[in-house]
Amino acid sequence: MKRPRVCGQRWSQRRTIATIVIALLSIPVARADPSQDSLTTVEVVGAKPGPGLWRVHSGDNVLWILGTLEPLPRRMIWRSREIEAVLDRADLVLAGGASASVDGGPITWFRLYRQFRRTQRLPGQQTLADFLQADDYQRFTSLRERYARRDRDVERFRPIFAAFRLFAGGVAAAGLTADDDIQERVLKLARKRRVERKQIKLKIAEPHVLLAEIATTAPQTEVRCLQAAMTRLETDLDALRSRALAWAEGNIAELQGLAFPDDREACWDAIQNAPRIKALAEQARDEWLQAAIAALEVKSTTLALTDIYSLWGKRGLLDEFRKRGYEVQEPN
């Protein structure tokens, strides 16, 4: 049985194991509590183009790359004539992220969902107060009142899941959202033009074992993830808004200058004892790169989508193309 695309998507209780696998790899965005205090929010006026496209060349064949970003300004109108022009002549659209599937019917999914609900909670009657220092717990309660006021269960969550929930509320309160997915809009435009579409597919074997790996990880190892997420909520929301606006305006130089703090690395470190999750994430990245190269070699025009921050830095995808001898051109 298959479930929807899971990479780079917001958290929802209706998503089960297919979402869990990749959602743990980055801070997701969820719907906010409508009663929470409003922050300085992002406002955009008029249609926005987003960033330009990178071009990777192999002879006369061209791979065009759109770097996507979540979250983005709520109610933003996105219109990229460059994307539409590429789609008019494209042979293939390679989606970012991955779709995941697990064998089994509704009963299997119900059991996995129940197992996940148990996994996200601390063992026994423990709460976050049992794992956080007094000053960190005070920070947590203050942020919970602001960003997860109605979600009292978050007190019983493992630190990594509490980090997800708090950050989701903070992002939404800042006037940002992941509900308006750029990739889905591009794929819709491709469908209208009857352009071939491809997405990486992951097969999750023994999902109950994957969940068990998470459940047996000591909660203490996740505390740094929650600390980093709280620091980001306290200090980095302005930068998060700036990233969203920079993407909307197509300001790539500003996006590159707005480096993420260490919360993603901290949360990644927290699941090092769950090697199956790490392996699936690496598989998704490697298969995307292989699919992009394969398309570049045989198709005249390919449009590929990926998270914009996966293009730069350590193991950045643009450098992966350059190392293989391809010419990479920056957006105009």
Q: What is the pLDDT of residues 151-161, one digit of tens each?
A: 889 999 999 99
At 166, is the pLDDT very low, low, confident or very high (cuts 50, 70, 90)?
Answer: very high
Q: What is the pLDDT of residue 110?
A: 87
Taking 50 as the threshold, does the pLDDT of residue 92 lie above it?
yes
DSSP letters spanning 243-283: HHHHHHHT-HHHHHHS---THHHHHHHHTTT-HHHHHHHHH
Model confidence at 8, pLDDT cuts 50, 70, 90, reads: very low
Give the model confidence (pLDDT) of 277-313 as tens digits: 778 888 999 999 999 999 999 999 999 999 998 999 8
- Provide the CB-side half-sphere exposure for 116 (13 A, CA): 21
For the chain, the average pLDDT equals 83
Q: Note whether 296 and 326 are within 8 A (CB).
A: yes
- Per residue in 231-258, pLDDT (tens digit) is 989 988 888 889 999 999 999 999 998 8
Structure tokens at 301: 């025009």
Alpha carbon distance 176, 43 (integer Å):
9
Tell whether the model's pLDDT for residue 14 goes beyond 80.
no
d(C-alpha 153, C-alpha 207), whole Å:
25
**pLDDT for residue 1:** 44
Task: Convert the pLDDT of each residue in 41-54 to its tens digit.
Answer: 555 555 788 999 99
CA torsion sign for 191, 194, 200, 202 is positive
Over 70: is that where the pLDDT of 60 sits? yes
Lowest mean pLDDT: which of 78-87, 209-218, 303-312? 209-218
Mean pLDDT highest for which of 114-128, 207-221, 275-289? 114-128
- The pLDDT of residue 304 is 99
Residue 59 above 90 pLDDT? yes
**Measuring CA to CA, which residue among 9, 315, 305 is closest to residue 178?**
9
The region that residue 330 occupies, defined by phi over 0 for left and psi between -120 and 50 for alpha, beta otherwise, is: beta
Lowest mean pLDDT among 102-106, 171-175, 194-198: 102-106
Q: Mean pLDDT, to the nearest integer, of 159-184?
A: 88
Residue 54, pLDDT score:
98
Instruction: Please report the pLDDT score of residue 113 as a whole number.
Output: 86
Which range, of 20-29, 33-42, 221-230, averages the lowest pLDDT? 20-29
Q: Give me the pLDDT at residue 63, please.
A: 99
Rounded distance between C-alpha atoms, residue 233 and residue 227, angstroms: 10
pLDDT computed for residue 143 by the predictor: 96
pTM of the model: 0.84
Q: Considering the chain, what percentage of its residues have pLDDT values greater than 70? A: 82
Q: Does residue 31 have a pLDDT over 50? A: no
> What's the confidence (pLDDT) of residue 36?
45
pLDDT band per the 50, 70, 90 thresholds, residue 21: very low
The count of other CB atoms within 10 Å of the CB of residue 38 is: 9
Residue 118 has pLDDT above 60, yes or no: yes
Mean pLDDT (whole number) for 259-279: 69
